[in-house]
Amino acid sequence: MAYEHDHDQHGGTSHEHTRRHPLGEAPRHAHDHDHMDFGEMAGLLEQEAELFSPLYAEAAAWLREQRPGPGLLVDAGSGPGVVSCLLADAFPAARVVAVDSVDSLLERAYARAGRLGVADRFGTLRADLAEGLGGVEHPADLLWASRSLHHVGDQGAALAGFAGALAPGGVLALLEGGLPPRYLPRDFGVGRPGLQSRIDVVHDERFEGMRAGLPGAVAETEDWPALMAAAGLRHTASRTFLVDLPAPLSDEGRAFVVTALTRLRDTLADGLDPDDLATLGRLLDPRDEASVHHRPDVFVLTAHTVHVAVKPE
């Protein structure tokens, strides 16, 4: 995703075991209220997470220093499970539970775990993060939540739920914040310079509207360490990880930029200047030599921040 940052209870070994232990009748899709169908976005979610895997691997290596040898690792808001499986690889002794509200994403996560050979210690749980993680039968030693918290109306209450799901001494790793992505120079020779900065403004306004429209929305200053402390956790560190894929971009990177810009055009169209929409149209037209399909100056540069806090013993 360009900006957004998307069922066995205890890392069981069979998908059928998972399906026999559903978590109540949670909503089929936890994000209908913000008009984002994460099930339909599965391809984009996978595409981005796979391209950004070096960032997640670096973050996982850092987390091994913060919480070596966790027994149970929970990915809260796992989406299609790319990072869940990466964490399973980074913590080979851990049982991993991927938690999401969308069945189709959890199916993808479990299938990925099977392809990667970690299904014997990988489970999934369908749950709405706004309703807590009570379906995880045992306290987590490490809980990873990547760009999922900001889709919950009451983020403080959700953080309290995360804290309640941790074992004493357990670690919460919260990925929120960082820097918006850049794909092109400020002036790339088409349209008015500064396109992506103007997209940022429209995106931020849309994001604020999304937040305000969430059920039980509570306005919070995005001081994540303070919010973690208010949930009873002891903040220990924050670190920012860079995605720096310079030009000339790989075919995979170029395909991601096409997907990301297409989604921005489609979701922000009513807020963008007509001239900027026309510029995006040229950038996305494979017949146009000035498009991102062909131009040599396309890159990917962004940063994600991970905040770590510990539950007191």
- pLDDT (tens digit per residue) in 227-237: 999 999 999 99
How far is it between the farthest Cα atoms of the chain? 61
Q: Give mean pLDDT, residues 244-263.
A: 97
pLDDT for 39 equals 62
Residue of 75, 120, 118 whose CA lies nearest to 98: 75
Tokens of 101: 């509200």
Task: Express each pLDDT in 3-24 by its tens digit.
Answer: 333 333 333 333 323 332 222 2
pLDDT for 184 equals 98
Sign for the pseudo-dihedral over CA of 18, 214, 73, 228: negative
Q: How confident is the model at residue 193 (pLDDT cuts 50, 70, 90)?
A: very high
Mean pLDDT value across the chain: 88
Q: How far apart are CA 172 and CA 156, in angstroms?
A: 14
Task: Express each pLDDT in 255-310 by its tens digit.
Answer: 999 999 999 999 999 999 999 999 999 999 999 999 999 999 999 999 999 999 99
Q: Give mean pLDDT, residues 76-104.
A: 97
Task: Express each pLDDT in 126-163 by its tens digit.
Answer: 999 998 888 888 999 999 999 999 999 999 999 999 99
Q: Give mean pLDDT, residues 80-102.
A: 97
Is a pLDDT exceeding 90 seen at residue 26? no
Q: DSSP letter at 50? A: H
pLDDT for 37 equals 67
Alpha helices for 124-273 (secondary structure H): 155-164, 195-213, 224-230, 251-268
**3-class DSSP state for residue 123?**
strand
Share of the chain above pLDDT 90, in %: 83
Q: DSSP letter at 246? A: P
Weakest mean pLDDT among 5-19, 45-59, 185-199: 5-19
pLDDT for 66 equals 92
Chain center to CA of 103: 17
Q: Tell me what percent of the chain is helix, strand and coil, each rounded to the nearest 5.
A: 40, 20, 40
Q: Give mean pLDDT, residues 29-42.
A: 53
Tokens of 217: 């929305």
